[in-house]
Structure 1
Amino acid sequence: MASTIVLITGANSGIGFATTNVLVKASNAFHVIIASRSVEKAQAAQSEIEATGIKGTLSTIQLDVTDQESIEAAAAKVKEEFGRLDVLMNNAGVGGIGHDMQTGFKLCLETNVVGPAMISEAFRTLLFESKNPYSIYVSSGERTLLRNAAQVFTRPGYEKVRGSGAYQVSKAALNMLVVLEAGEYGPKGLKVFALSPGFVVSNLRGKSEEARTGWGKAGNPEVSGQIVLDIVQGRRDADVGSLIHKDGVYPW
């Protein structure tokens, strides 16, 4: 069995897919579990990555971050097959684009905040079976209270928050979830990180080529995967409990 067992939610596309690709190409020490609402999409992602040549190993699991039964079943399966989990990466998320305010807020908060909270709760006992457990949340440095407040008060006509602001609010709430987990479980040995991937190619904005690529402005999501690799190989341990990006740490 691989020395490092990693589970990534929403790993069939975007940042999750890119991170999976980076990890299993980096070392034969990694086994990455591709978690997705759709087993078919997870299996397709596995086949695509394996076809390019890998050092580590892959498997798939059905996991809907908004479904408690799905979460519990996935945790039970990981326990049965591996007995532990070394890295949990809460990556799955939605942007809430194209919905009315109420629907957008419910969708973003349920998927981006409640889901990660339930998943972390379900898998935490498995993380504590690891000798070196990591809990990583994909957040957003652009959605912190301090950075947004500073821009509101220093840039006249600041209009960065578009639509209802549901996504921004959900990521601010997720940051608080990270702080709380780090405060409670950090002293017990769990290394907790919030990760700001930056503006990268993703389905978060929609599935059209224009939306995925941020109208040609989005960066390579494998940069985010490299940050995760640095985390799990211990190169960012000095930043435990922080909101990190590729070049440093953002204030909360």
Structure 2
Amino acid sequence: MSRAARGLAALVMFTSSLGGCGPRAHIPLRPIELRGSLAQTDSGAVLAGSLAPILYLQRDEVFPLSRAVAVLHPSKRVIAYHLLWRDDVHGSWIPFTVPTDQEVVWIGYDSSNVPTEVWTYWHGVILHTAWPGSQVAINVQWGKHGSLPRGIRESDLPKTQSLNFYYAATRFLLPDILLGRITRKGPIGFYHSYARYRDFSWPMLLAPVLDAIVRTADPRQVLKAVFGDYSRKPNWPPGMSDLSSFVERR
């Protein structure tokens, strides 16, 4: 065994032995009663279920989707789908970090309740694209769960936030990935090709796993009740809140 391989093996064993240290996810039990939650037969709940996207995961994903909440805007034709993944492959060992991974997909629709546009949260920016009235489909990045509208051109992504960049990060941030095992079980890296990294072939229907559907402009209390501590990503896309950083898909 080479020196590098021995060092990697030693680091894996060391971090695995430190499972009692660092922040851990404490996701609350699903509330039996949630203030503002819509009944399953409510027209808003039916709409949120019908427009819920299909998520396409990378097939080696290890962190499950733990919670999902749909939020209908009370005055605009937009529904936010807040997703809580069990963890993020990077940075989970850092003290006082939020030990879960919240992501958001927003779907705009017209007067006939057909989807017309999609926004997604992608590592600090909001991606936006028109959507041609069909079932919304979202690609979910391995380990970090950034959400990409399916079919988006990768050249439209910021250079330092491209899939290629994050694939490279699975190599140069390998110590960070391994340190994540201090706080929870997780991968020891991504040892596959770039083609496999961007192979989003594991479909997941979101509608059946929605934990709550509400109608509100400010979902923070609802998300706190369902998610516990979470990252507080934007509630709404640009034009509906104080946001200015987004990338338009041409």
TM-score, structure 1 normalization: 0.23
Q: Which has the higher strand share?
A: 2
Q: Which has the higher helix share?
A: 1
Q: Which has the higher contact order (CA 8 A, sep 6+)?
A: 2
TM-score, structure 2 normalization: 0.23
